[in-house]
């Protein structure tokens, strides 16, 4: 089992940049595919980005492609989400998620569906003002 703790969310202005972090503990971090999801107020949770356990091909939602970057530092047991050119519609609670290599052996691509992830953090609020 792995525990995930997000941080870095805060109030920013449109056009600003922000980096979210998700620290993991409990298991070998490098054996997990990782993802970021978000839930805008009153809406369903949606996929943002994911990175496989191999650190290979990253995936992005169309709404964030070209603005957000997911990365991982296995030495620090941390996955990051760099968010640039933020828009008010990016306002949401952001969650990181993990899926073990044993459950998802695909090293080329990570899952992109929420139900494919087994472990979740508690979320961090990002608010973008116009």
Closest CA to 27 of 83, 77, 70: 77
Greater confidence (39 vs 56) lies with 39
27 — pLDDT class (breaks 50, 70, 90): confident
- Please report the pLDDT score of residue 93 as a whole number: 98
Mean pLDDT, range 40-65, rounded to an integer: 95
Greater confidence (59 vs 27) lies with 59
Q: Say if residues 69 and 53 touch (Cβ distance below 8 Å).
A: no
Q: How far apart are CA 103 and CA 53, in angstroms?
A: 11
Measured between alpha carbons, how far is residue 118 from residues 34, 44, 62, 83 in Å?
10, 18, 24, 24
pLDDT of 38 > 90? The answer is yes
128 — pLDDT class (breaks 50, 70, 90): very high
Residue 65, C-beta contacts closer than 8 angstroms, at least 6 positions apart? none
Q: Using one digit for the tens of pLDDT, what is the confidence trace for 54-104?
A: 888 999 999 999 999 999 999 999 999 999 999 999 999 999 999 988 888
């Amino acid at each position: 089992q792995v525990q995930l703790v997000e941080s870095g969310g805060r109030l920013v202005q449109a056009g600003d940049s922000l980096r979210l972090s998700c620290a993991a503990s409990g298991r070998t971090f490098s054996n997990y595919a990782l993802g970021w999801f978000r839930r805008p107020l009153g809406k369903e949770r949606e996929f943002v980005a994911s990175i496989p356990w191999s650190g290979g091909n990253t995936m992005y939602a169309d709404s964030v492609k070209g603005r957000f970057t997911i990365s991982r530092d296995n030495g620090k047991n941390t996955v990051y989400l760099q968010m640039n050119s933020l828009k008010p519609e990016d306002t949401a609670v952001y969650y990181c998620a993990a899926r073990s290599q044993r459950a998802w052996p695909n090293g080329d691509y990570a899952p992109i569906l929420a139900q494919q992830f087994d472990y979740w953090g508690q979320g961090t609020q990002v608010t973008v003002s116009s």
